[in-house]
Amino acid sequence: MSQYWSSLVHTLTPYVPGEQPKVNNLIKLNTNENPYPPSDYVLDAIKKATDDKLKLYPDPNADVLKKRIADYHNVDANQVFVGNGSDEVLAHAFQALLKQEKPLLFPDITYSFYPVYCGLYGIDYQTVPLNDEFEIQVADYSQECGAIIFPNPNAPTGRLLELDEIEVLLQSHTQQVVLIDEAYVDFGGQSAISLVNKYPNLLVTQTLSKSRSLAGLRVGFAVGHADLIEGLERVKNSFNSYPLDRLAIYGAVASFDDEQSFQESCKSVINTREELNAKLLELGFKVLPSAANFVFATHPQFKAVEIAAKLREKSIIVRYFNKPRIDQFLRITIGNDTENQALCVALEAIIKG
Ligand code: PMP
């Protein structure tokens, strides 16, 4: 059979997202969404945006949102870029900033989108092994490189690199862009956004998908030196795209206005994470310390793939990665109290028989 697509596209290895099941009544703990809904305040703002302006195009620059994020993080509006989820922001960053003559560095166990973008944009990369405890060690990033990217906390491990370590990295890489992907930072990390005015080579990305319960709205952003942001804008404007629709712009602004709901939902997720952690330890799992809204756990006697299959029979889905070094681990998103209790009961039945 003839192939109609080009040989370049044929060689791409696309990203495989976590399952979004088509059936209801599953306890869905596989793609790190927030178990709590957005607040009424945010929902009202989205509803209000369905006014007679919906017939008009949105502001292609989403200025009102950039200004709100800038105020929230104490930077100037020209230091903020917004996009359709942080995946789109990252895509633009790979194209605009991370494609250099020397290879891009990222951890060997990390967000699986990174090698996909490298394939798409023809970016040479090298992976840097995590240590035995699945930690990023900045001393391991001393080889020649064009740029560095990693999530903090890392995914799927949940392990956090402290800000002082990030500063060590920034001080030794003043000529390279260092991109910190903070998709999960609000669940126990400290944001490196506080460092962007000190290090012009630092770009930080965040998302409203996790800690702000807005995965369905698709909003992400980057904060950094205005020159880095300009690079992202140039790529975006080359597509004549409207990154955010009107509802997303106003829903996102409202989310930053509703600090209390945001803090409360983060606190609930963190509390449940600690409860789940304790239960997993009681059942004999080894659990990596997590600063995210998921845990990464392995059991010495049971195969991760089999635990995942048995949970699935009980209508609970968790994430399993069939990859070297982590194929004995499960990544479990933190659910609400009811979901967590059901998970704990199911795990106990599987482990204790
Ligand atoms: N970075 C990391 C580390 C992630 O796990 C995710 C979610 N899959 C993203 C970025 C992208 O999230 P979103 O596009 O929903 O903002």
Per-residue pLDDT tens over the stretch 331-347: 999 999 999 999 999 99
Q: How confident is the model at residue 14 (pLDDT cuts 50, 70, 90)?
A: confident
Q: How confident is the model at residue 29 (pLDDT cuts 50, 70, 90)?
A: very high
Length of the chain: 353
What was the pLDDT predicted at 192?
98
CATH dotted code for 40-258: 3.40.640.10
Percent of the chain with pLDDT over 70: 98
In angstroms, what is the span from residue 128 Cα to ligand 1's centroid?
A: 20
For residue 333 and ligand 1, the question of a CB distance below 6 A is answered with no
For the domain made up of 7-37+260-352, give the CATH fold: Aspartate Aminotransferase, domain 1 (3.90.1150)
Q: How confident is the model at residue 239 (pLDDT cuts 50, 70, 90)?
A: confident
- Provide CB contacts within 8 A for 138, sequence distance 6+: 161, 165, 166, 168, 169, 172
In angstroms, what is the span from residue 249 Cα to ligand 1's centroid?
A: 19
**Does residue 1 surpass a pLDDT of 50?**
no
Q: How far apart are CA 191 and CA 162, in angstroms?
A: 10
In angstroms, what is the span from residue 77 Cα to ligand 1's centroid?
A: 23
**Does residue 5 surpass a pLDDT of 70?**
no
What pTM value is reported for the model?
Answer: 0.96
Q: How far apart are CA 172 and CA 174, in angstroms?
A: 6
3-state secondary structure of 222: strand
Task: Tell me whether the CATH fold assigned to 7-37+260-352 matches the one assigned to 40-258.
Answer: no
Q: How far apart are CA 331 and CA 336, in angstroms?
A: 16
pLDDT in tens, 130-155: 999 999 999 999 999 999 999 999 99
Q: What does the domain layout of the chain look like in residue ranges?
A: 7-37+260-352, 40-258
Q: H or E element: which one contains 28? A: strand 27-29
For residue 86 and ligand 1, the question of a CB distance below 6 A is answered with yes
What was the pLDDT predicted at 18?
83
For residue 248 and ligand 1, the question of a CB distance below 6 A is answered with no
- Omega cis (within 30) before 153: yes
Q: Which residue has the higher pLDDT, 21 or 119?
A: 119
Contact 97, 231 (CB under 8 A): yes
Residue of 92, 94, 113 best suited for mutating to test ligand 1, as the one with most atoms within 8 Å of CB = 113
For residue 243 and ligand 1, the question of a CB distance below 6 A is answered with no
Query: Which one of 1-15, 233-247, 337-351 scores highest in mean pLDDT?
Result: 337-351
pLDDT in tens, 160-192: 999 999 999 999 999 999 999 999 999 999 999
158-167, 177-186, 230-239, 276-285: which range is least confident on average?
Answer: 230-239
Protein residue closest via CA to atom 7 of ligand 1 = 183
